[in-house]
Amino acid sequence: MLRLFQQHELRKGKELNGMWDFVREDTGKAYRLPVPGCWEQHPDMLAYRGQGAYRTKLAVEQDTCLRLEFKGVSHTARVFLDGEAVTEHYNAFTPFAAVIPGVKAGEHELTVQVDNSFGEHSALHIPNDYYTYGGITRGVCMEEIPEVYIERVHFTPQYRDGVWRGRTEVTVRSTGRSVGSSVNGSVSSIDSSVSCGKTAFCVSGWLGENAMMEMAGEVEPGGETILTTEQEFAGITPWTPEEPALYLLKTRLSVDGKEIDDCIERVGFRTVSVKGGHILLNDSRIFMKGFNRHEDHGMCGCAIPLQLMAQDLDLMRDMGANAVRTCHYPNDELFLDLCDERGILVWEENHARGLDLEHMMNPNFDRQCEDCIREMIENHYNHPSIVIWGILNECASETEEGRKKYAAQYAQIRRMDQSRPTTSATCRHFTDICLDLPDVVSFNMYSGWYQDVPVKERHEQEMDWIASAGGAGKPVIVSEFGAAAIYGCRDRSRCKWSEERQADIIRENLEVYQKDPRLSGAFIWQFADCRVTEEGGWFATRARSHNNKGVVDEYRRPKIAYDTVKEFFENWNG
Ligand code: ADA
């Protein structure tokens, strides 16, 4: 299952999830591995960092234009059909697709060469305080599409004069020049059958009981056309955390009066804005109380199935949370679908954690960040649960060169989406020179764990500095706070690393943050323990090679702090 709703009624598609052949690059040994899945799940590859090739067969009943979509491959994929390169992609956390015209009827071999190695080629996946797994870690599907097809549909809800309106943008693409989707700048061609002249088409749509206005357009061979319509919608129930109403937006593409393609998106009517130092949802102030959650689980690494995603959200909800931060990368759309359905507020962010200026000056950094932001917003735009876009967690925001990169990334987000505020979690306390750039200021603070300082005093210092350093009048979020505990470590002395001490430190922090009406949110670091990379730095000092600041461990076994959080979150409405 790739999404929680059916995305097509007309377009023919099939998931390719299941058991694939796999050959490990370094030993040449062959395996059968599950897709989606991490190769680290196999006892031979518990810490394997390198390359490997997945293979499977697929069949098409008639000559077709094939679209292959990968929801996530960690961390670099090179995709081949019958030995011909069709696309490549960097970054485990964003979807990508290959469009291959001229595929003959019959059986074909799909090969995905996967690489999770570190080095200059990878500016974002580096040794870090989380683990970069290897594998085809999210779902895969194949679709048969016409030469002119619907590439994406973006819906922007608007509320004006007591009426819900919406802007629908439909991107129609022609495969005219038979190119793979130009992902990360890589474009491949299978054959050069160029259709001559433009194709005239018509787009129609429905949302709930509302018929959408028909739009007509034309598209150049190999080009794309974006058609936009705005209209009022009747009988709408807004999307709110309390009542997360969702609607299917169905669009159809016709050529010469014949319907040839379709696209179904699921949307919610809500607006997000920033005003008077607060974040507003449908013009009402919201307070985001929740967790930082890595896509990592003791049973399955980053390839988390729906049932375990649902369990995570059930546990967060049980603790009284209403929000989750996708630290530090875009999340699986299945998880975002669950958040849409459950009314969980999401801070989604691009892929970056703790990159200093040297890392940010990697020649691949700018392009890899730009690709990640583009793919994150192109694919996740319609999720009503996402209420804020984040970038560059704890990167070099204290430097002029770093500021240029922050500014460029905020500008890219604003070009792509004017409907959501932006933020970035800083740890460059008193030295950050980028607080004037985002709509919301966020900071990570470990009073009581890394800094043995009184929480209240340190918090006031931080809030005063933020107001003086460009954040005045902006909403403020405590994006990370917490402490570590080894699951099962109980000690009446309440020493560090005991569950008792973790609960105490979280309590001390919550007592302060809960009393500060200036805050628009507070995210505990972190929901669950997660694996970290041993090579490459101080993370090797992490006990068990895990970041142990979870309120539950990696198997979701609750620590004492679970009930401490529950006690506070259940009675905290900001
Ligand atoms: C930072 C970082 C997190 C995690 C945390 C910690 O704030 O943003 O990813 O590494 O510190 O546990 O120290």
Mutate to test the pocket of ligand 1, among 444, 505, 523 (most ligand atoms within 8 A of CB): 444
Question: Biggest alpha carbon distance in the chain?
Answer: 79
Q: How many residues does the chain have?
A: 574
Mutate to test the pocket of ligand 1, among 479, 546, 547, 548 (most ligand atoms within 8 A of CB): 547
Say how far apart CA 330 and CA 313 lie, in whole Å: 17
DSSP percent split of the chain into helix, strand, coil, nearest 5: 20, 40, 40
Number of the ligand 1 atom closest to the C-alpha atom of 425: 8
Distance 445 CA to ligand 1 centre (A): 9
Environment class of 414 (CB within 10 Å of its CB; exposed 0-12, middle 13-18, buried 19+): middle
Distance 396 CA to ligand 1 centre (A): 15
Sort residue 2 into left (φ over 0), alpha (ψ -120 to 50) or beta: alpha
Please report the pLDDT score of residue 165 as a whole number. Answer: 98
Contact between 314 and 305 under an 8 Å Cβ cutoff? The reply is no
Q: Which residue has the tokens 């305080």?
A: 129
Quickly count: other Cβ atoms within 10 Å of residue 558's Cβ. Answer: 18
Q: What would you report as the CA-atom Rg of the chain, rounded to the nearest whole angstrom?
A: 24
Contact between 170 and 150 under an 8 Å Cβ cutoff? The reply is yes
Environment class of 37 (CB within 10 Å of its CB; exposed 0-12, middle 13-18, buried 19+): buried
Closest residue by CA, ligand 1 atom 7? 444
Quickly count: other Cβ atoms within 10 Å of residue 472's Cβ. Answer: 12
Distance 291 CA to ligand 1 centre (A): 13
Q: How far is CA 132 from the centre of its chain?
A: 15
Record the pTM. 0.96
Environment class of 46 (CB within 10 Å of its CB; exposed 0-12, middle 13-18, buried 19+): exposed
Read off the tokens for 109: 């071999």
Check residue 505 and report its DSSP letter.
H
The Cα angle at residue 158 between residues 154 and 162, in degrees rounded to 5:
155
Distance 351 CA to ligand 1 centre (A): 14
Number of the ligand 1 atom closest to the C-alpha atom of 480: 7
Distance 130 CA to ligand 1 centre (A): 9
Please report the pLDDT score of residue 196 as a whole number. Answer: 57
Distance 538 CA to ligand 1 centre (A): 12
Distance 429 CA to ligand 1 centre (A): 14
Q: Which residue has the tokens 């970069």?
A: 132
| DSSP helix/strand/coil, 315 | helix
Torsion angles phi and psi, residue 459, rounded to 5: -65, -45
Say how far apart CA 322 and CA 317 lie, in whole Å: 7
Contact between 393 and 432 under an 8 Å Cβ cutoff? The reply is no
Q: Which residue has the tokens 């992902």?
A: 183
Contact between 128 and 353 under an 8 Å Cβ cutoff? The reply is yes
Distance 421 CA to ligand 1 centre (A): 23
Number of the ligand 1 atom closest to the C-alpha atom of 128: 10
Closest residue by CA, ligand 1 atom 4? 129
Environment class of 116 (CB within 10 Å of its CB; exposed 0-12, middle 13-18, buried 19+): buried
**H helix intervals, 442-542:** 455-466, 499-513
Number of the ligand 1 atom closest to the C-alpha atom of 327: 9
Read off the tokens for 78: 């090179």
Number of the ligand 1 atom closest to the C-alpha atom of 484: 12
| DSSP helix/strand/coil, 524 | strand
The bridge status of strand 163-174 relative to strand 224-232 is antiparallel
Distance 427 CA to ligand 1 centre (A): 9
Read off the tokens for 233: 């919608």
Say how far apart CA 335 and CA 338 lie, in whole Å: 5
Number of the ligand 1 atom closest to the C-alpha atom of 393: 8
Number of alpha carbons in the 13 Å side-chain half-sphere of residue 548:
20
Number of alpha carbons in the 13 Å side-chain half-sphere of residue 346:
29
Distance 420 CA to ligand 1 centre (A): 25
Say how far apart CA 237 and CA 574 lie, in whole Å: 25
The bridge status of strand 199-207 relative to strand 76-81 is unpaired
Distance 129 CA to ligand 1 centre (A): 7
Mutate to test the pocket of ligand 1, among 326, 424, 524, 525 (most ligand atoms within 8 A of CB): 525
- The torsion of the CA quartet 163, 164, 165, 169, rounded to 10 degrees, works out to 180
Contact between 133 and 125 under an 8 Å Cβ cutoff? The reply is no
pLDDT along the chain (574 residues), means of 10: 96 98 98 98 98 98 97 98 98 98 98 98 97 98 97 98 97 71 32 60 93 93 96 96 98 97 98 98 98 98 98 98 98 98 98 98 98 98 99 98 98 98 98 98 98 97 98 98 98 98 98 97 98 88 97 99 98 84
Mutate to test the pocket of ligand 1, among 131, 351, 394 (most ligand atoms within 8 A of CB): 394
Contact between 405 and 391 under an 8 Å Cβ cutoff? The reply is no
Pocket of ligand 1 (CB under 6 A): 129, 327, 353-354, 393-394, 427, 444, 480, 525, 547, 549
